[in-house]
Amino acid sequence: MIPAAFEYHRPQGLPEALHLLTEHGDGARALAGGHSLIPVMKLRMSAISHLVDLQDIADLRGITVGSTIRIGAMTTQAELINHAGLATAAPILREAALQIADPQVRNLGTVGGNVANGDPANDMPGLMQCLDATFTLAGPKGSREVRARDFYESAYVTARAEDELLVAISFAAPAGGYAYEKQKRKIGDYATAAAAVQLQASGGRVTQASIAMTNLSDTPVYSAAAGAALVRTACDQSAIKAAVAAMLGDINPVADNRGPVDFKRHVAGIILGRAITRAFSRT
């Protein structure tokens, strides 16, 4: 499995990388951790004549934790897991990242690649819906910000233009309880269904809830209705049932080797129920 020939570039800064992408147009692709792109290149499913390796660009790295959390796009899943400040400020990220692939893959796979690729099976896009994150994109005309909830158009189609790069992800430090629950066939697999839940409670009642689902549509699904179904409840069985019913109205899974549609809808309900229960227990 040898990819078709291409020219390799390793720019040292963001302007140089953007220049390469503009100069080579359609034939150019940015390389982050490579664990989605290289398999596609090996199968020769993608015609790439210029590969732009982002590993040396310092502006794409680093994690800043404050009232706003900012994660550079080239941060690997392993760096995200091992960042103590982040584990305290936004523990849902660590919980989700530990369920992605395996240790070797997490050492190379990046959070930026995971969100920017637009693969509905990836976990970070769903999580970023839940956190209402903002993506910073840099392009030849400067940079702009796009909400994660507006970023995904369909499978592998996002708001990012071909001459733009994802620079960073930022979001307000989340409060309250959290859970990222994922059903997969085996370690390393994509989700059959996964749920990201952040919720806040006061006096035993839910005051705020944010719910998003992974791999149950051609984009990640933010379910405002599911969150709303929990607010002002004691998060009891009937409230969870209502949230699951609302979520099922927002997803649109297709049958594949992870199962038929009915099975996926069933799993989605179970997984969301577990995620809500765990998140509430952590408030």
Partner 1 sequence: MKKLHLEMTVNGKPVDVLAEPRALLIHVLREDLGLTGPHIGCETSHCGACTIDLNGKSVKSCTMFAAQANGATITTIEGIAGPDGMHVLQSSFREHHGLQCGYCTPGMITRAYRLLQENPNPTEEEVRFGMAGNLCRCTGYQNIVKAILHAANEMQSKEAAE
Binding of residue 55 to partner 1 (CB under 8 A)? yes
Number of residues counted as binding partner 1 (CB under 8 A): 29
CB of 166 within 8 A of CB of 25? no
- Which residue in the set 104, 238, 252, 281 belongs to the binding site for partner 1 (CB under 8 A)? 104
Smallest distance, partner 1 to C-beta of residue 10, A: 7
Report d(CA 221, CA 72) in Å as an integer.
24
Least separation in angstroms between CB 39 and partner 1: 6
1 binds partner 1 (CB under 8 A): yes
C-beta of 56 vs 218, nearer to partner 1: 56
Encoded amino acid at 46, one letter: S
202 in contact with partner 1 (CB under 8 A): no
- Distance, in Å, from the CA atom of 119 to the CA atom of 113, rounded to the nearest integer, reads 10
Question: CB neighbours of 101 closer than 8 A, spacing ≥ 6?
Answer: 35, 77, 109, 188
Torsion of the alpha carbons at 247, 250, 255 and 258, rounded to the nearest 10: -40
Q: What is the DSSP string of 109-154?
A: -BHHHHHHT--TT-HHHHHHHHTT-EEEEEETTEEEEEEHHHHEEE
| Shortest reach from residue 51's CB to partner 1, in Å | 7
CB 196 within 8 A of CB 122: no
249 binds partner 1 (CB under 8 A): no
Contact status: 277 vs partner 1 (CB under 8 A): no
Report if residue 23 touches partner 1, rule: CB under 8 A. no
Helix axes 261-281, 237-248, angle to 10 degrees: 140
- In this chain, which of 62, 66, 85, 188 binds partner 1, going by CB under 8 A? 188
Note whether 246 binds partner 1 by CB under 8 A. no
**Which runs of consecutive H residues, i.e. helices, occur in the chain?**
14-24, 37-42, 77-82, 84-89, 91-97, 103-108, 111-116, 123-130, 148-151, 224-230, 237-248, 261-281
For residue 42, state whether it binds partner 1 (rule: CB under 8 A).
yes
Q: What is the residue type of 225? A: A
Q: How far is the CB of 35 from partner 1 (least distance, A)?
A: 6
Nearer to partner 1, 76 or 129 (CB): 76
Q: Is 225 in the site for partner 1 (CB under 8 A)?
A: no
| Stretch of 1-9, 155-163, 203-211, 265-273 contacting partner 1, by CB under 8 A | 1-9
Regarding 111 and contact with partner 1 (CB under 8 A), the answer is: no
**Per rule CB under 8 A, is residue 5 in the interface with partner 1?**
yes
Residues in contact with partner 1 by CB under 8 A are: 1-8, 10, 31, 34-35, 38-39, 41-42, 51, 53, 55, 78, 101-105, 107-108, 187-188
